[in-house]
């Protein structure tokens, strides 16, 4: 699915006053599951997608067969000044420039190109609406209280997230049904950096998570 303001959804410029909180994005997914009459899913989220998954763990854990994230941390606490500065900087840049900068998150030439393409085609209004919600959040207590089988796939080259992720791993380790997988030579978007390795890792990991439920 494409989240609101993403892909071919209604332009966020036309969605005056629409809520872009992570909790609302999670509710959008829940509404889609209800519409499609899907009771439970194995949720896999990259970057902001992982944050949206945490919202589902918080609001409707019974709808998740498992939760997997990569390029995501469960806690981030950037100052209001930093968040404001990021938003101001993005306002000044074209999406093409933002795309070029975002491409540095890729490890391989293919992944760099794909990330640049995706970000260059994004709606600036969507990016600006989301920045305040992605700079400061804390799901650690949600993680500790949850019993949804979970896996973190950690790319060893994902420098920014790896600086923040230890408290998230500790929170998962404080409970049962958790698997941590480290992938070499992958970064923020491991599925793009090494698709074959990522797919095999995900498939094997989901088998383990499914066994946790038995």
Question: Over its length of 214 residues, how does the chain's per-residue pLDDT go in tens digits?
Answer: 888 888 777 665 565 666 789 999 999 999 999 999 999 999 999 999 999 999 999 999 999 999 999 999 999 998 889 899 999 999 999 999 999 999 999 998 899 999 999 888 888 888 888 888 888 999 999 999 999 999 999 999 999 999 999 999 999 999 999 999 999 999 999 999 999 999 999 999 999 998 886 6
- Domain 40-75+138-214 indexed as CATH 3.40.50.1820: yes
Give the closest residue to 152 by CA, choosing from 178, 191, 189: 178
Give the closest residue to 71 by CA, choosing from 145, 168, 140: 168
Rounded CA separation 167/190 (Å)? 21
How far apart, in Å, are the Cα atoms of 182 and each of 109, 185, 197, 199, 205?
Answer: 21, 10, 11, 14, 12
Angle formed at CA 128 by CA 61 and CA 158, multiple of 5 degrees = 65
Question: CATH 3.40.50.1820 residue ranges in the chain?
Answer: 40-75+138-214
Phi first, then psi, for residue 62 (nearest 5°) are: -70, -15
């Amino acid at each position: 699915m494409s989240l609101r303001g993403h892909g071919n959804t209604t332009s966020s410029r036309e969605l005056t006053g629409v809520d872009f909180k992570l909790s609302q994005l999670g509710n959008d997914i829940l509404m889609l599951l209800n519409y499609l009459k899907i009771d439970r899913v194995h949720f896999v989220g990259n970057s902001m997608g992982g944050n949206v998954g945490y919202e589902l763990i918080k609001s409707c854990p019974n709808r998740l067969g498992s939760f997997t994230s990569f390029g995501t941390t469960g806690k981030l606490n950037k100052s209001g000044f930093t968040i404001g500065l990021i938003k101001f900087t993005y306002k000044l840049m074209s999406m093409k420039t933002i795309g070029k900068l975002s491409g540095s998150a890729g490890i391989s030439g293919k992944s760099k190109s794909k990330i640049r393409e995706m970000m260059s085609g994004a709606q600036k209004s969507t990016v600006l609406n989301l920045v305040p919600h992605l700079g400061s959040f804390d799901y650690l207590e949600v993680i500790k209280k949850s019993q949804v089988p979970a896996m973190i796939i950690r790319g060893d080259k994902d420098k920014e997230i790896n600086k923040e992720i230890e408290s998230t791993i500790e929170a998962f380790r404080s409970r049962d049904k958790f698997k941590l997988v480290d992938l070499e030579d992958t970064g923020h978007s491991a599925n793009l950096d090494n698709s074959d390795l990522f797919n095999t890792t995900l498939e094997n990991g989901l088998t383990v998570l499914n066994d946790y439920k038995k």
